[in-house]
Structures are given as C-alpha cells and as structure tokens.
Amino acid sequence: MTGIQLLERIGRVTSKFFIVWVALFAGLALYTPETFTPLGNYISELLAIVMLGMGLTLTIPDFKRIIERPIDVIIGAGLQWVLMPLFAYLLVVGLSIPWEIGVGMILVGAAPGGTASNVMTYLGRGDVALSVTITSVTTLAAPIVMPAWTLLLAGEQITVTFAEMAEEIVLIVVIPVIVGLGLRYVLDRYAPTVAKAGLSIFPAISVAAIVAIVAAVVGLNVDEILAASAIVLLAVVLHNMLGLGAGYGITRSLGMAEDRSRACAFEVGLQNSGLAVAIAIAFFDPLAALVPAVFSVWHNISGPALATLFTYLDGEPVMDYEPAAE
C-alpha cells in the first residue's frame, strides 16, 4: 500500500463514521465538559481549517458553472437565502424559544450552504456541479447575507453591528476558501502528487475539526443542553425538514430537472452550522451556539437518510457514505 493509498483509507474511514465521532465526543463532553471547554477559544480557527479544506476541493471550472447555469444557481441560492432565515424566525416565535437561544437558530438559517450538501447530493444522485456552485456562491456572499438577516430578524435583541459580523465571516470563511482554491491551483499545476495527498487526508482533518467544535459547544453549554434539549431538538428537526422539503418541492414545481431539484434540497436544508457556531461564540451569549451545535449533529443524520430515500426510489444501491464534514 502506498502512502497516498494509506491517507485515502484514513480519510474514507474517518469520514464514513463521521456521525459516530460526533456522537461519541458530544457524549464525552456531556460527561466531562471541563475536558473540552478550552477548545471554545479556538472555534474560529477550527472552522477556518474546515473552510480551507472546502477551498481545496474547488477548482476554477467550478466557478465557471455559475455562467453556464445561472438560473438554477439563482433559484437554489435564492431559496436558501430567503426561506431558511424566515423558517428560523417563525420557529423561534412559534415555539417561544428564548432569544438568547433563538438567535442561534437565526444564525443557522442565515448561514451559507455546508460542504456536506455536496456529498449528500452525490450520494442521492443529484447534480453535484450545481451543488458545488451554489455552495460557493452562498459562501462567498455570507459576509453580506448573514449579518443582514441576523440584524433584520433579531436586531432589537442584539448589539453586534453588520461590519463586525461581516469582518469575522471574511476572516474565517472567505479568506480560507480563497487560499484553499489558490493552493489547489498551484499544487495541481506544479505538485500534483502533493495535491492528491492533501485531498486524501483533508477529509479526516475536517472531521476532526468539526468534532472538536461540537464537543467544545456541548462542553460550554452542558446545563442548558440538558434543560432545553427537547425544544431545541424539535426546532432543529423542523427547520431542517422544512428546508429539505421546500428545496426539493419548490424547484420541482418550477420545472427543474430531478437531479437538480435533489441538489437544491440538500443546498437549502443543510447549512454551514460550524460557521453559525463560530459567530455565536464570537458575538453572542454562549447559549446561541446551542442550536447550531445540535443542527451539526442532526443534519448528518437527515442528509444521509434523504440520500438513501432518493437512491431507493431510483432502484439503485446506496454508495458508501463519505461526508465532507460540516
């Protein structure tokens, strides 16, 4: 076995059991929170590592697809930008969730698409190129869209400014993605073996970073999680289901092809909850990170489940699940 094959195997095994690692370390954080709370000081840095990994998976042709299929991209991104924040706000109000927790729901709703949506699209026989393009567009627009929605929906309850949130998002999302994209271009051109090795092991690094983020948030909010878990879980499940259902149903009603509607389902329903965690920790009450942390676990259950349903409807066997952690 070559070194690259070994790295690929490590990446596959680590990613395949992503939800197991999340559940295991979340449980450990509940049992011994003091072990993981120090990681709370590094959530932004950990997320930046994940976003760097996302940048490494992208190539220049991925962005050229924006020109090739603008209508589908606009529809998919538009549904995510409009529906998920509104769904979040309605759930916060409808379920009477306290604002110190509810702002975390709004942050999730306003967040860009997560990289896991790309893998779920592949797993569910959707249009992967469209998925990657929508994820890229929503991620690069996050410094504008995310603060705007958060201030609009929760403006009276928060003191953070648009500029503060935008600056933080640029630092932990946009810059790492652009650096990763540039690094991928250089390595592909001048050191393809190194590029292949990096792409082989980075899934494992991304999984480790996300698991650390979730464990840190759980450790910081043990008492609140145990006290508010039922209402938070209900809100997270409803939010995610509404996004998945609307993303698929609306695009199909508009005449979009089946594979593209599947891509939109995952793009709308699966958010970058890691970014929501980082923004919550940076600017709000620690309780605001509760919903994004639960969402991070849940959407790695609902995503594979929907992908399995799609493949079942196609009458084809399900491929191995190898998620890009989000």
Domains of the chain, residue spans: 3-314
Q: Topology of domain 3-314, per CATH?
A: Na+/H+ antiporter like fold (1.20.1530)
Tens place of pLDDT per residue across the chain (326 aa): 566 666 667 666 666 666 677 778 888 988 899 998 898 888 888 878 877 877 777 777 766 766 776 899 999 999 999 999 999 999 999 999 988 889 999 999 999 887 778 767 877 888 877 887 888 888 888 888 888 998 888 875 666 677 887 888 788 777 888 888 888 888 888 888 877 777 777 767 877 887 888 788 788 777 767 766 688 889 999 999 999 999 999 999 999 989 899 999 999 999 988 888 888 888 887 788 888 888 877 887 788 788 878 888 877 544 443 444 44
Burial of 30-66, coded b for 16+ CB within 10 Å and e otherwise, reads beebeebbebbeebbebbbbbbbbbbbbbeeeeeebe
Cβ neighbours of residue 146 closer than 8 Å, sequence gap 6 or more: 107, 110, 111, 112, 165, 169, 275, 279
Full-model pTM = 0.75
Mapping DSSP to helix (H, G, I), strand (E, B) and coil, where does residue 197 land? helix
